[in-house]
Amino acid sequence: MFNYSGKKVVVTGGGSGIGRAISLLFAQQGAEIHILDLENPTSLGTLNELKAISKESQLHIVNITQLTAVEETATKIGAVDILINNAGIAQIGNLGNTSPEAFQQIFDVNVKGAFHCMQAFIKGMLANQKGVILNMASVASTVGIPDRFGYSMSKGAIVSMTQSAAKDYLLKGIRCNCISPARVHTPFVDGFIAKNYPDNQEEMFQKLSATQPIGRMAKPEEIATLALYLCSDEASFVTGCDYPIDGGFIYLNN
């Protein structure tokens, strides 16, 4: 089960956090991984880890907010079996204090970035009459979270885009789903806490962990495992759905 030998997989933002966990897990199952990310020590480190598993795996330095750059990268990679839109940024602010510039920035990265990649890579899927797209949404697309106005907007758009694409390409051999994690313990979370709460980091970590009814944040590897199933041949009957993986956040958070 979950044999990815011969599968070519694109993971945006695959150099760190959830994307890194997905890239490594899929490579361990035999996939050829193509990471689309910005150039930084973390993404280069992940590439080295991948090369030890799958020599064919590559890192492509590309800004997904630029359609031309994404299209050029898609042409270079060629037709892929699976596209995982994981790249994204966070943003703090409510309706009143979110600036137009901040709103545009998170829209460009989280929404347009996913759109650019879907549009560029679906061409090869259509030519082969098969493919899987998996988008990373969030529990913020389903329930209200304080001070996450722009972020919630962007992840709500991801869910809608997922369902629309799944409907449009239902009979073209292309499946499209999305995952909605709650808070995941990644280097981003550690950096956010260190920057904003330098004097009480441990207290804030525990407070953020406790917002999940299960009592802790998710591990990136747990999100990757769900992704592994949804993109697999074993999930061939699954399309057009949003899958919460949230430690009870949506339905048990009384």
- Catalytic residue list: 151
Dihedral pair phi/psi, residue 34, rounded to 5°: -120, 110
Rounded Cα distance between 55 and 185, Å, is 29
- Nearest 5 degrees, angle CA 141-CA 145-CA 146? 145
Entry field: residues in the chain: 254
Nearest to 165 by CA among 156, 155, 153, 177: 177
The sign of the dihedral angle between the CA atoms of 90, 93, 99, 103 is positive
Rounded Cα distance between 30 and 82, Å, is 13
Amino acid symbol at 114: A
Number of helices (H) and strands (E), helices first, in the chain? 9, 7
**Residue written as token pair 């996913």:** 114
Amino acid symbol at 108: D
